Amino acid sequence: MTSAARMTSSERMTSAGRAEAADPVVGVTGRAGEKVSYSLASEAPVGLWSSSGVTLRTPVSKGTVRLDVTTHGFSAASLMIQRYVPKTHRWVDLDQRPVGSDHPEKGTFTFPVSVAASAGRPATVALRVQDIDRPGRLTVAASVNDGHGHTYRAPARSAVVDRPTTTITGWPDGTALARGGAAKEFTLAVKNTTKRAYPALNAGYFAYGQGSGRAVEPKDLVLQQYVPGHGWQRVSLLPGGCDPGMGAQLIPTAKTPLAPGATAVYRLRLAVADSAPVVKVDAGVSVGTGDTSFFYRTLPFEIRAQ
């Protein structure tokens, strides 16, 4: 089982290539005397796009904008930066280059640029940033090579990378379930402690168990979720695609984004069928938004005969 569901490179390109409903609003940043200025939102929650941008006040011909990134708490390889192309109304990935294996916290992003900018007529490029790993801190130093032998640098900008606070109660270490016995109830709670709403909030459950006889199958486990107004509902466990594991998407607790300060609560219970093999099961839950997981926790248990 993987520790978190994250986008593959091909999925990132698909996401980057989608047409947007409206052009992003990009404000001019920096001071009139700065040849290049850079802006970055002060908060960049895991799994969400956060606004950024470059303002140029000098003519650039076949030049290059460079963003030198330093991360704290997560690898620079888990960071995505895209620029908006007004002509095609699409977001595209910036070229990314790691500094080296000795410095996983550092990375470089670049993109070509040609503009007839000046102090009186600044040109802006809309950017957006997203971390798909863990919380921490992000610092970005922007510069531009104007194509005429000059390199100008902007003051570095930093952002706090945070995520909702997720807790699990009711599932202690050493939990054991008897075949045909009572269900074990536990709760997954997600509180949005960021300043941004989390859209498309999703949660999942997975399990894998392989004994000397056979592996645990979906028919061996009974996963239920409490839905207010409807009571306990069966949640279907589906076989994994490449191993005998299984997984399930939990029932959404709301149809609207998780607002700052709000909490999504998933009440769950798990029972074991009479047919289950006596094995140790690696299980757990994940929580994310869209294609990115920002929380993962293992909830192992043992299946006993009685």
Residues 177-187 pLDDT 10s: 999 999 999 99
Look up the CATH number of domain 165-304: 2.60.40.3880
Which residue type, as a one-letter code, is found at position 256?
Answer: T
Mean pLDDT, rounded, for 47-69? 97
Cβ(1)–Cβ(288) below 8 Å: no
- Tell me the C-alpha distance between 100 and 120, whole Å: 40
Buried b (16+ CB within 10 A) or exposed e, 28-67: ebbeeebbbbbbbbeebbbbbbbbbbbbbbbbbeebbbbb
Q: Which of 140, 110, 116, 7 is nearest to 56 (CA)?
A: 116
Residue ranges, CATH 2.60.40.10, the chain:
9-161
Average pLDDT of the chain to the nearest whole number: 91
Residue 6 structure tokens? 């994250």
Q: Where are the alpha helices (DSSP H) in 45-117?
A: none
pLDDT tier at 18 (50, 70, 90 boundaries)?
very low
pLDDT (0 to 100) of residue 24:
87
- Tokens encoding 101: 């294996």
SS3 78: helix
Determine the 3-state secondary structure of 81 from DSSP: strand
Mean pLDDT on 252-275: 95
Q: How many helical (H) and strand (E) elements, i.e. helices and strands, does the chain have? A: 1, 23
Q: Using alpha carbons, list the distances in angstroms from residue 6 to 48, 98, 106, 107, 162.
A: 13, 19, 20, 19, 17
Q: Residue 71: which of 127, 14, 137 has the closest Cα?
A: 137
At residue 299 the predicted structure's pLDDT band, cuts being 50, 70 and 90, is: very high
Would you say 281 and 301 are in contact if contact means Cβ atoms under 8 Å apart? Answer: yes
pLDDT, tens only, 221-248: 999 999 999 999 999 999 986 678 999 9
Retrieve residue 150's tokens: 């000059």
> What is the predicted pLDDT for the residue at 242?
63
Separation of alpha carbons 158 and 134, rounded Å = 16
Looking at residue 2, what is its pLDDT? 36
Phi, psi of 15, rounded to the nearest 5 degrees: -65, -40
* H/E stretch holding 82: strand 79-85
Indicate whether 273 pLDDT > 50.
yes
Choose among 200, 25, 22: nearest CA to 127.
25
Closest CA to 220 of 211, 231, 228: 211
> What is residue 102's predicted lDDT score, i.e. its pLDDT?
86
Under the banding of pLDDT at 50, 70 and 90, the label for residue 133 is very high
Phi, psi of 148 (to 5 degrees): -125, 20
> CATH 2.60.40.3880 spans which residues of the chain?
165-304
Distances (CA, A) of 192 to 170, 179, 196, 285: 21, 37, 8, 17
Q: How many CA atoms lie within 13 A of 41 on its CB side?
A: 18
Q: Has domain 9-161 been given CATH number 2.40.50.100?
A: no
Give tens-digit pLDDT for 73-125: 999 999 999 999 999 999 999 999 887 778 999 999 999 999 999 999 999 99
Average the pLDDT over 278-305 and give the result. Answer: 96
- pLDDT given at position 249: 97
pLDDT tier for residue 289 given thresholds of 50, 70 and 90:
very high
pLDDT mean over 154-183: 97
